[in-house]
Amino acid sequence: MLVGLLGYGRVDNDSKNTLLFLWVVKKNNNEPSLQNPCDNPMMRKLFKISEIPQWKILGKEVVDEIIFRTIKPRNRLILELMARGGMRIGEVLKLTPADVDERKLTLRDPKSGRGQEVVFIPQKLADRLKEYIREKEIKSEERIFPITYTAARAMVKKAGLLAGVHLRPHDLRRHAATFASRSGVPIELVSKIILRHANLSTTQRYLGKVSDVEAMRCIENLYA
């Protein structure tokens, strides 16, 4: 059992240190030639604990600049729906006028596998979206943004370069979650409303690391 625990890494650091100490005692006092069968390159690679990726989170000023520098209304709306509504690029491209109900957008056949999901967007963004639909005379069941996924990704990348940023569509979704969290929105709401995740642990992977400056500012505001 001891061998298994050490080899498979299923214990926390304190427990693992204790087990390692017991292993050394057993090896030195009883069986000096005893070898851990899990301590070999193949097993370490097989049961390596993957690190949770940490993405660079874009600040509000950077995202605002990216959107401001985007002149074409269609492209600007696509960027804002991801940055303000936390939408995936594929979800944005599937939108039709029938899915727009004031500030509430209905997502049909979402990634989660549910029948449908709902996204809430700011009033100003909703007004611009409805005005765009009217101006372009887009029919109820037609796609609002009839471009390919590849074209949308290229547009996002170009928009980032104009602001000096290497930008990917999901960077804007992560920004929406992190900005909401740091603005005081409870993580449960960020998870269920903005990102629409089934598990809170998935949401936590999206949120950027908190710097010392941000942590101190938070404490000062809390006890001011």
DSSP readout, 42-94?
HHHHHTPPPPPP-PPPPPHHHHHHHHHH--SHHHHHHHHHHHHH---HHHHHH
Same-domain pairing of 101 and 184:
yes
Q: How many CB atoms sit inside 10 A of residue 181's CB?
A: 21
Please give the pLDDT value at position 157. Answer: 96
Q: Which residue, chain included where needed, has tokens 């520098």?
A: 69
How would you classify the pairing of strands 104-108 and 116-120? antiparallel
Same-domain pairing of 165 and 195:
yes
- In the chain, which ranges are continuous DSSP H helix? 2-8, 13-29, 41-46, 60-69, 73-85, 89-94, 123-136, 149-162, 169-182, 187-189, 200-206, 212-222
186: left (phi over 0), alpha (psi -120 to 50) or beta: beta
Give the count of domains, the chain.
2
Q: How many CB atoms sit inside 10 A of residue 18's CB?
A: 11
Q: Per-residue pLDDT tens, the chain, 224 aa: give them.
A: 444 444 444 445 555 555 555 655 555 666 556 565 556 666 556 555 555 455 677 889 999 999 999 999 999 999 999 999 999 999 999 999 999 999 999 998 877 667 788 999 999 999 999 999 999 999 999 999 999 999 999 999 999 999 999 999 999 998 988 888 888 888 888 888 888 877 766 676 666 555 566 556 655 665 65
Asked if 120 contacts 53 with a C-beta cutoff of 8 angstroms, the reply is no
Please give the pLDDT value at position 9. Answer: 45
Residue 151 lies in a domain: yes
Residue 222 lies in a domain: no
Same-domain pairing of 36 and 122:
no
Residue 27 lies in a domain: yes
Same-domain pairing of 152 and 41:
no
Candidates 193, 140, 145; CA nearest to 169 is: 145
Residue 52 lies in a domain: no
Same-domain pairing of 38 and 66:
no
The residue range of the domain holding 86 is 60-216
Tell me phi and psi for residue 63, to 5 degrees.
-65, -40
Residue 53 lies in a domain: no
* Helix or strand holding residue 118 (H, E): strand 116-120
- Rounded Cα distance, 99 and 2, in Å: 57
